[in-house]
Amino acid sequence: MSFLMKNEYGRLSLKAVMELAAPHTWGASIMPVILGSVLSLAFTGTFSFALFYSLLLTSVFLQCAVNTFNDYSDFIKGTDTEENSDDPSDAPIVSNKINPNHAFRFGMLFLLLAFISGLYTLLTAGWELLIFGGIGVAVVILYSFGKKPAAYLPIGEMVSGFTMGGIIPLACFYAYTGIFDLRILFYSIPLIMTIGMIMFTNNLSDIERDSEVGRKTLPILIGRENSKKLHLVIVVIIAVIMLVFVYKYFIKGMPLTPLALILIFFPEYWILKGGLVPEVRKNSMQGIIQIHWRLNLMYIAMIVANTIQ
């Protein structure tokens, strides 16, 4: 049984709270704010440090809420148990013996902190941004809760990638400029795809555990070997798209491309060499997070280089 007896709950320590918040995943919320801010600067010359920090904190706290609710949902549904949780950081409720009700309350607290952090943005840029916030909260609910949450379906990667990698830069650009420009979604494609790949790598490493509880993730549907091939193909496609975007729209940043490719494909090599099996899940996740950080930082650096020259 995944449920702990009431008298077995441990003390809710700072370590336990941080594992619920999962700082190692924050790149999925930090990078979209940076990209949206840089695109605003590049296209309109508009930027504000105060607005940037407000947007950044809002995005990070939303990420913390997603992580916490996802762990809560996995525990309640029996996905995370003492028997199948080899990586303590992947199942913090189990490893820290947290009362699941306390975990849920912390998820709500993170949502409240996201709203408080975003108050400056709302007062500065307009309450219309609540629409973006509403979309974010709705995705949190749909992603983790319900009979068939998105995290349990083959669309999980697409939902997380589009929401974090697309909607957040779009909202940031609007906050700076007051312009709802759908081109931002287009320029965010490399970011959307790398965030989706973080979830894909996680699901690929957890095929056996997820299968036991009836999840229907994309790696489960196509199998581990096909998923490994797809993993490499998608990373190559992301790199090609980034290069095409830089060549066509941010040409002055092209000198940075050789470094970008080196930084991307070394982690991918080690990910695939490890086999993306449960035993090396931690290394696989570290590798894909490195790819996410490196590729998008280089992409952003190329945009900046094109802007300041």
pLDDT, one tens digit per residue, over 245-266 is: 999 999 998 888 888 888 888 8
Output the pLDDT for position 5. 47
Percent of the chain with pLDDT over 90: 34
Judge whether 3 lies within some domain: no
pLDDT of residue 176: 95
In a domain, 1, yes or no: no
Question: pLDDT tens-digit profile of 46-67?
Answer: 999 999 999 999 999 988 998 8
Residue 2 lies in a domain: no
Residue 188 inside a domain? The answer is yes
Give how many domains the chain has, as a whole number. 1
What pLDDT was estimated at residue 150?
72
Residue 142 pLDDT level (bands cut at 50, 70, 90):
confident
Does 277 or 129 have the greater pLDDT score? 129
**Domain contains 90:** yes
pLDDT confidence of residue 85: 55
Annotate 165-196 with b (16+ C-beta within 10 A) or e (fewer).
Answer: bbbbbbbbbbbbbeeebeebbebbbbbbbbbb
Query: Could you report the per-residue pLDDT of 144-157, keeping only the tens digit for each?
Result: 676 777 777 777 78
pLDDT at 6 > cutoff 60: no
Give residue 3's pLDDT band: very low, low, confident or very high (50, 70, 90).
very low
The CATH number linked to 53 is 1.10.600
| Whole-angstrom distance, CA of residue 235 vs CA of residue 238 | 5
Q: Is residue 176 part of a domain?
A: yes
Give the pLDDT confidence score for residue 2 in this predicted structure.
45
By the 10 Å C-beta count (0-12 exposed, 13-18 middle, 19+ buried), 59 is classed as buried
pLDDT value of position 309: 64
CB neighbour class for 305 (10 Å; exposed up to 12, middle 13-18, buried from 19): middle
Identify the domain containing residue 199 by its residue range: 10-308
Average the pLDDT over each of 191-200, 202-211, 230-239, 290-299 and give the range with the smallest value.
202-211
Residue 280, pLDDT > 90, answer no
Q: Is residue 192 part of a domain?
A: yes
In a domain, 4, yes or no: no
Round the average pLDDT of the chain to a whole number and report it. 84
Give the model's pLDDT for residue 204.
85
